[in-house]
Structure 1
């Protein structure tokens, strides 16, 4: 992905003499790992539903609470493991980029 960003930057520089566009490491990371990161983004919504259940004006039934709780139980370990794995992959990719340069 980084090579694509560099090529994109070079082609834009050749096509027009405008300055200001640089290859973006963040954009390359999001293109590479964004789908994995977004897959783990639903867990906070389940937690917020459980917190809303315990508020005084809750409209959630107990069955919905149990469903959210089961989802939380089964997904917590997997999501933490997956997020740590993606974080390690990003760190290795950035380190490899620095050493390759």
Structure 2
């Protein structure tokens, strides 16, 4: 498709604040339109600059050429997997580390909070009901945080996978 023939709406993610990005609130207009009627091509947004095939293809092509010259010097076959890894590893690592840290914190906090809620129901407990409610609310917020982080990681991983596919297709069509 020739992108010069059509002009889409600007991507709302560009102007979204961090909370809107975390909660996917920046997509509400698009989702509401899809709820009311079938989506059409004119409803789609411009892709983000990081997702453009020209840039992704250029980045992968540069690394692929380096991989080919490195393999030639060592007398081995070049590895497309290595070129993909070198091109996209930073995007995977950042979201993976953040998700790991939040997940570990949440998984440690959940049984501790549950233990405090159970402690309220033990005989001779001096814990006030308000304190038990706070621990219960902490459990709910903790689960909510885990769900949000899981969705953010899944979106990030899918986006990187999409970028890898776009970059590889761009290289194939350049041949």
TM-score bracket, shorter-length normalisation: 0.5 to 0.7
Q: CA deviation at 1:12?
A: 3.1
TM-score by length of 1: 0.63
Determine whether 1:28 maps to 2:79: no
Q: 2:167 maps to which residue? A: 93
Determine whether 1:73 maps to 2:147: yes
SS in 2 for 1:61: helix
Matched residues in 1 for 2:67 and 2:158: separation? 25
SS in 1 for 2:78: coil
More helix by share: 1
Unaligned runs of 5+ in 2: 1-62, 114-134
Unaligned runs of 5+ in 1: 14-20, 54-59
Q: 1:91 to 1:77 in 2, by over 3 A?
A: same
Q: 2:94 maps to which residue? A: 39
Query: What is the Cα-based RMSD across aligned positions, in Å?
Result: 3.2
Deviation per CA, 1:60-95, whole angstroms, max 9, x where unpaired? 411786675343133223222211111111001111
Greater gyration radius = 2
Q: 1:65 to 1:36 in 2, by over 3 A?
A: farther
| Ranges of 4+ aligned residues in structure 1 off by more than 4 Å | 63-68
Q: 2:112 maps to which residue? A: 61
Q: 1:65 to 1:33 in 2, by over 3 A?
A: farther
